[in-house]
Structure 1
Amino acid sequence: MIAMGGSIGTGLFLGAGGRLHDAGPSLIFLYAIAGFFGYLILRQLGELVSYRPSSGSFVSYTREFYGEKWAFFVGWMYWFSWAATAIVDATAIAIYFNWFGQYIPAIEQIDQWVVALVVIVVVVSMNLISVKIFGELEFWFALIKVGSLLLFMVIGIFFVIFGTPTGSPVGFTHIAESGFLPNGLLAALVVSQGVIFAYSGIELVGTASGEIKDPRKAIPKAINTVVWRIALFYVGSVLLLSLLLPYDAYSADESPFVTFFGSIGVDYAAPIMQLVVITAAASSLNAGLYSTGRITHSMAMNGSAPRFTGAMSKSGVPIGGILLTGAVALLGVAINYWKPSEAFEIVLNISAVCIVIGWISITLPHQRFVAMARRGERVRPEYQAPLAPVTNWLTMAFLVGVLVLIAFDYPIGTYALAAMLLVVPVLVVGWLSASGYGLWQPNV
C-alpha cells in the first residue's frame, strides 16, 4: 500500500497532462517502457531485501557492497529527491486548489505560495504524531486514488464503446488524426523525466521492510502485485485519455482527468475529480516524508547524517529526518513565490535526476551481489531478479539514457541537471565533516 501511495500521485494526476500535450499518444509506450524497467528494479531490490531485510533500503545495500562513502552520497541524493518531491506535491496541491477560484472568487486572491506553505506544515505535523497516523492516512489516500482511477477507467471504457454525452468523437480517431508522434520523436523522448517521476516511490516497498513482521515473504509478494497494478493504472489511464480526447486538449496547467470530466458536460464531475487529485498529491507527500525519515535515521545510525536526524519519538516516529525534510521543503514556498508558473517543472526535473540516481543505486549493488554470489561469497535467496546480471546492464543503459534526455530538455531540464552538479561539492564537504573531522558521530 505504501508503494502504491507513493507512486500513484502527482506524476500521473497532474504531470500526465503536459506530457500528453507534448508527446501525444506515444506517451502510452513511454509509460509501458518505464513500467517494465521499474519492474526490473523492484525485482532487484526484492532480491536484496530477501537476502537481508533493512529499513535503510538500498542505502544500506550500497553501504554493504560499495562502502560508506557511496552510501553517504546515495543516501543524501535520495533524501534530496524526496525533499524535491515534497515541493512538487505541495506545488501541485496549490495549483489544484487555485483551480477552484473559478467557482469561489475568494480563492483567486490566495497566492500559490501560501497554499504550498499550509500544505507542508499540515502534512509534516501529521507525520510527527505516530507511525499509525501515517499508515491510516496512506491507507485512505490510496483507497481514494485507486477507487477513483478504477471509476475513471470504467467510465472511460464505457464512453469509448458507446460515446460521450456530448457526442464528441472518441476512440482511435484521435490517434489516427494526430499519429503517435504529433510533435516528433525528440519531443516525445524529452518528456521521459516526467514519466520517471511518475513511477517514483515504487522503491518505498524496500523502505517498508523494516516495519514488516516477515519481510522475506511479504516484500516479494508485494512487488509481484504492486508493479503490475501500477503499470495497469498508468498505461491503461494514458491509453484511455488518448482515446477520449485529442492530445492537444490537455495541458500542463490542469489534471488530464479534470480536463476529461470537464469536457463531458456533467455538472460537478470536474470539481469532484479535482478533489481526488488533491488527495493523490497529499498521499505522495505523505509517503515521501515517511521514506526520508527512515532513510536519514538509518544514515544517522552510521554517522552519515547529523545526529539530530536520527532522533526517534516514543511512538517510533523518525522526527529528526521528517523535520529536516520539512524544513528543506519550505524552500519550495520560495520557488512558488518567485516562479509560480514554472515551480512545478523546475522541481520535478531536479527530483527526476535524483530518482534516477537512486534507481542506479539499486541495480548496481544488486549486480555486485550477484557477482559475489557467483564467486561463492554470498548466497542468493529463492526470490531472484530475472536474467541477472544482463537485466542490470539493460537497466543501467536505460537510466543513463534518461539522464541524457533530461539534459536535452532545454532550458529547465538542462539547468536542473547542471544544478545537481553543484550539489557534489556540498556532499564532499559533508563527507569530510562526517569522516575526516568527526563532526557527525554515529548515534548509538
Structure 2
Amino acid sequence: MTTIDQKEDDVSSPHELQRKLSNRHLQLIAIGGAIGTGLFMGSGKTISLAGPSILIIYMIIGVMFFFLMRALGELLLSNLHYKSFIDMAHDLIGPGAGYYIGWSYWLGWVLVGIADLAAIINYLNFWLPPDMAFTPMGQAMISAGCVLLVLGINLLTVKLFGEIEFWFALIKIIAILSLIVVGGFMVFNHFHSPDGTLASFSNVWSHGGMFPKGTSGFLAGFQIALFAFVGVELLGTMAAETKDPEKNLPKAVNAIPTRIILFYVLSLFIVMSVTPWNLIPADKSPFVSLFMHAGIGSAAIIMNLVVLSSVMSSMNSGVFSTSRMLFGLAKDGQAPQALAKLSSRAVPAKGLFFSCLFILAGAALQYFVPNTIEAFTLASSLCVILFISIWGLIMVCYIRYRKRAPELHAKSTFKMPGGVFMSYVVLIFLLFTLVILSLEPDTLKALIISPLWLIILAITYRVLYIPRIKKMGKQL
C-alpha cells in the first residue's frame, strides 16, 4: 500500500488526483470546515430561537460529530484506495448508495453556495444606509462575481487551493480568538455599552434562564446549528489528495472536540456575556453585533470583513468538494465521462465549471427571494436535510464495514470509540433531527419538497446509470 501511495505522490499523472495537501493544509481546512457560515451568520437566528441553550445544542451536536468523524476516519484508513464517500458507499452498501451519496453531496454543496451568496449580500449591506440596500440586479451581479472568483481559484492547483484555504481558516481562527480575548476583557472590566448594558457572565442566564424559549425553542435551534457543521466531513473528500493520510487524518479528526468547545461554545458564551441574548438581532451576525452593541464601530467593520472572508472560504471549499464528487461519480460511470478528465494542473476543471454553473443559477434566487435571511433559511434547510442523509449513510457504511471486515477493524490503529453501538446512537440522533425539522414552518417546507430529489435520483439511476453499466459489461 505504501508503494502505491508513493507512486501517486511522485508521478504527475494526468488521469489521477495528486496528493498535494500537506498536514498544515489539512489541519487548517478541517478547522475551516468546522467554522462555517452557519456559525457566523446563522447563530444570530439560532440565539433568537433557543436563547443561551444554543451552547448545549452545539455541545450535543459536537459530541455526535466527533463519533461520526472517527467512524469516517477509520473507514478511510481501512482502505487507502477509497478516494471519497462514493467509493466507500459503493463498496460497502452498493452502487445505488454511491450514486445517491455522490449526487446528494454535490447538490448539498451547491445549496451551501446559494446560501453563502445570500450571506454575502447580507454582510455587504452592512456598509450601506438602510434606504440604499442592493437591488435584485445588484445582488445577482455580486453573486456572479463571487462565483467567478472562486472558480478561478479552484482552476489553478490543489496546492494553491490548500494554501488559500489555509489563510482563510487562519483569519477565522485569529478573529474568533480575538473576539474571545476582547469580550473577556470587557466582562472582567465591567464594560458598560452606550445603552447602559453591563458586560457580565450572568447575562447568559439572567434573562429567562438557559431555556428562555422552553423545549420548543431548544428543539428549533437545532436546524441552523446543524447547518453550522456542514463541511466538517470535508476531510472525506480530500483523502485522495492528502499526503501521508495515516498520520495526518487522525490528527485532524481528533482535534474536532477542542474546536467545537473553543470556536462555538466559548465564542458564543462570550458574545452573550457582552450582549444579552435578547438584544442580539436575528438577522445579523452576533460577532459583528457584539462590537456594534459595545460602540466599537471600527472593530465591527473588521469583524464584518472577517465574516465575509469566512463565507468566501465556505463557498471555496464547497466548489472544491463538488468537483471531486463529480470526478468520482464519472470515474465510476455514474456521471458524464467528460467530468472524469483532469486538466494539465490535475484538477477536475469540467466538474468545477459544472458546479459553478448551478451555483450561478442560484443567483437568480435573489430575484425571487430578495429577503436574504429568508433565502438563506430555505437553502440551508434543504442543505441540512441532504447532509443528514449523507451523514447517516456514512454511519451505515461503518456498520457494514464492521460486519464485512472484522479483521481490518482488528488491525486498525484508529478505531472509532464505541464502535457499532455509537454508530446506532449517531443514527438515532440524525433521525431525531429530521423530526425536529418538521416542527418549524420554514424547515417543514424544505422537508416536504425534499422527496423530489429522491424521485429524480431514482429515475436517473434506472434510466441512465444501469443501462450504461450493462453496456460496459460491468456487474452491478
Please, what TM-score do these two structures have when normalized by structure 1? 0.94
Q: Which residue of 2 aligns with 1:234?
A: 264
Q: Which residue of 2 aligns with 1:345?
A: 377
CA contact 1:433–1:439 (8 Å) conserved in 2: no
- CA 313–113 in structure 1, closer or farther in 2 if over 3 Å, else same: same
Q: Which residue of 1 aligns with 2:42?
A: 15
Q: Give the CA deviation at 1:173.
A: 3.4
Q: Give the CA deviation at 1:107.
A: 6.4
Q: Which residue of 1 aligns with 2:127?
A: 100
CA contact 1:433–1:440 (8 Å) conserved in 2: no
Q: Which residue of 1 aligns with 2:197?
A: 168
1:393 paired with 2:424, answer: yes
Q: Which residue of 1 aligns with 2:412?
A: 381
Write out aligned runs for 1:407-426 (5 A). Answer: 407-410=438-441, 412-426=442-456
Q: Which residue of 2 aligns with 1:265?
A: 295
Measured in 2, the distance between the counterparts of 1:245 and 1:91 equals 25
Q: Which residue of 1 aligns with 2:468?
A: 438
Q: Which residue of 1 aligns with 2:174?
A: 147
- CA 55–133 in structure 1, closer or farther in 2 if over 3 Å, else same: farther
Measured in 2, the distance between the counterparts of 1:54 and 1:270 equals 47
Q: Give the CA deviation at 1:177.
A: 2.4
Q: Give the CA deviation at 1:269.
A: 1.5
CA contact 1:55–1:298 (8 Å) conserved in 2: no
Measured in 1, the distance between the counterparts of 2:470 and 2:222 equals 38
Which segment drifts farther, 213-222 or 276-285?
Answer: 213-222
CA-to-aligned-CA distance 1:347-397 (integer Å, 9 cap, x gap): 0101111111111121110111112234x5875411100011110010000
Which amino acid in the other structure matches residue 177 of structure 2?
L
Q: Which ranges in structure 2 are unaligned for 5 or more consecutive residues?
A: 1-27
Q: Which ranges in structure 1 are unaligned for 5 or more consecutive residues?
A: none
CA contact 2:76–2:82 (8 Å) conserved in 1: no
Write out aligned runs for 1:83-94 (5 A). Answer: 83-94=110-121
Write out aligned runs for 1:12-411 (5 A). Answer: 12-54=39-81, 56-102=83-129, 108=134, 111-166=138-193, 168-169=197-198, 170-341=200-371, 342-374=374-406, 376=407, 379-410=410-441
Measured in 2, the distance between the counterparts of 1:345 and 1:416 equals 10
CA contact 2:66–2:257 (8 Å) conserved in 1: yes
- CA 267–98 in structure 1, closer or farther in 2 if over 3 Å, else same: closer
- CA 196–174 in structure 1, closer or farther in 2 if over 3 Å, else same: closer
Q: Give the CA deviation at 1:183.
A: 1.7
SS in 1 for 2:201: coil
Which amino acid in the other structure matches residue 129 of structure 2?
Q
Q: Give the CA deviation at 1:53.
A: 2.5
- CA 21–184 in structure 1, closer or farther in 2 if over 3 Å, else same: same
Q: Give the CA deviation at 1:308.
A: 2.2
CA contact 1:307–1:440 (8 Å) conserved in 2: no
CA contact 1:3–1:205 (8 Å) conserved in 2: yes
CA-to-aligned-CA distance 1:36-75 (integer Å, 9 cap, x gap): 0110000000101110125632221111111111110111
- CA 54–42 in structure 1, closer or farther in 2 if over 3 Å, else same: farther
Which amino acid in the other structure matches residue 156 of structure 1?
G
- CA 55–278 in structure 1, closer or farther in 2 if over 3 Å, else same: farther
Measured in 2, the distance between the counterparts of 1:431 and 1:31 equals 37
Q: Give the CA deviation at 1:441.
A: 8.3
Which amino acid in the other structure matches residue 303 of structure 2?
M
How many residues are paired up? 439
Which segment drifts farther, 269-278 or 303-312?
Answer: 303-312
Compute the RMSD of aligned alpha carbons.
Answer: 2.0
Measured in 2, the distance between the counterparts of 1:200 and 1:17 equals 17
Q: Give the CA deviation at 1:273.
A: 0.8
Please, what TM-score do these two structures have when normalized by structure 2? 0.88
Measured in 1, the distance between the counterparts of 2:100 and 2:402 equals 23
CA contact 1:306–1:440 (8 Å) conserved in 2: no
Q: Give the CA deviation at 1:132.
A: 2.7
Q: Give the CA deviation at 1:16.
A: 0.3
Measured in 1, the distance between the counterparts of 2:471 and 2:386 equals 26
Measured in 2, the distance between the counterparts of 1:408 and 1:13 equals 24
Measured in 2, the distance between the counterparts of 1:273 and 1:207 equals 30
Q: Give the CA deviation at 1:28.
A: 0.3
- CA 324–223 in structure 1, closer or farther in 2 if over 3 Å, else same: same
Q: Give the CA deviation at 1:206.
A: 2.1
SS in 2 for 1:422: helix
Measured in 2, the distance between the counterparts of 1:441 and 1:91 equals 43
